[in-house]
Chains A and B, each alone.
Chain A
Amino acid sequence: MAILRIHNSIKMIGSKSGIEGIGNQSFDITLDPAIVPQPGMKNVAPFPSATILWNSIASGDPGWVWMRNIDDTLNIKYGYLYAILDLKVIGLLKPGEIASFRLDPSSAPSTYFAAAGIGGTAKLQCLVWEEM
């Protein structure tokens, strides 16, 4: 059985406030052996246009998404593509930054999950794994 272990961690360091924020957790997802991971290097269109990141993920297909902004200068935003020129943005990737979370499968991600470069076409590395 193919398993992907996911570890998401965030920690505040160097604080003099006495407040220490630590989020740290590992968990597994069981992969669908019939589905290979969908890797991609995408050139994402400049906002207000947007680029759908995957084309073959149907509704009900749960999957884990990992993205990294590999553009040298441009920021990338992403979210729910409601209509042409209507990207409902929740997240931002500065150059070099990553994001990691489970895509919501109540709608087909291939119809809504999209990203856009801010100020120009930007390069995004993105992978998604489908779960059994």
Chain B
Amino acid sequence: MTELRITQTLIPRNSVSSIKKLSSELIIPVTTDGSFQPGTVAVPASPSKISPLPAFGFSDAGWCWMRNEGAYPVQFGYIQAGTLYPVGVMKAASGSQPAETALFRLYSAITVSFGLNAVGGASSVSMMAWKD
């Protein structure tokens, strides 16, 4: 059986007394039909649909991990008629700080509704997605 092991941890540093460590691990069965979609997505400085998910049909959903690989922040969200309704953003690497990531399950119909937008200049995102 092929599975995804998903781990997510939030660790307070420097004695942040009001915050406790949060840690989650999930094991998710995934298909073995080749729908694993790794890729690097060029992200223009204008709203655009993602394009590297050909195995995802209209009603498909699945887990997704993304990392900003460019020099500018990348927004992600719902795209409709050329307008992006941004929900999240990933900052680019800066100095000693690595680039940010996002981890979540994509909703269905993602190939027609999921959009990216680089802020301030073109960027790129590495993306891995597994269809349910």
Contact = CB atoms under 8 A, between A and B. Distances in A.
Contacts of A84: none
A56 to B, nearest CB: 16
Nearest to B65: A23
Given A17-B32, A99-B103, A101-B90, A3 B16 contact: yes
Contacts of A3: 12-14, 16
B13 to A, nearest CB: 4
Given A2-B14, A28-B97, A102 B5 contact: no
Given A7-B11, A13-B2, A103-B87, A23 B128 contact: yes
Nearest to B24: A98
A107 B87 CA distance: 9
Nearest to B11: A5
Contacts of B32: 15-17
A62 B88 CA distance: 10
A90 B30 CA distance: 20
Query: Chain B: interface residue count, which band?
Result: 35 or more
Contact of B16 (A2, A10, A23, A93): A2
A4 B16 contact: yes
| List of 7 A-B pairs having minimum Cβ-Cβ separation, nearest first | A88-B78, A101-B102, A23-B65, A99-B104, A80-B85, A104-B86, A8-B103
Interface residues of A, number: 60
Given A4-B16, A16-B2, A88 B77 contact: yes
Contacts of B14: 1-3
A86 to B, nearest CB: 10
B36 A12 contact: yes
A16 to B, nearest CB: 7
B4 A13 contact: yes
Given A11-B5, A79-B107, A102 B102 contact: yes
A12 B78 contact: no
A51 B106 CA distance: 19
Contact of B102 (A1, A7, A8, A19): A8
Interface in B73-108: 75-78, 80, 85-91, 97-108
A86 B40 CA distance: 31
B103 A37 contact: no
B26 A97 contact: yes
Contacts of A23: 65, 67, 101, 103, 126, 128
B46 interface: no
Nearest to A5: B11
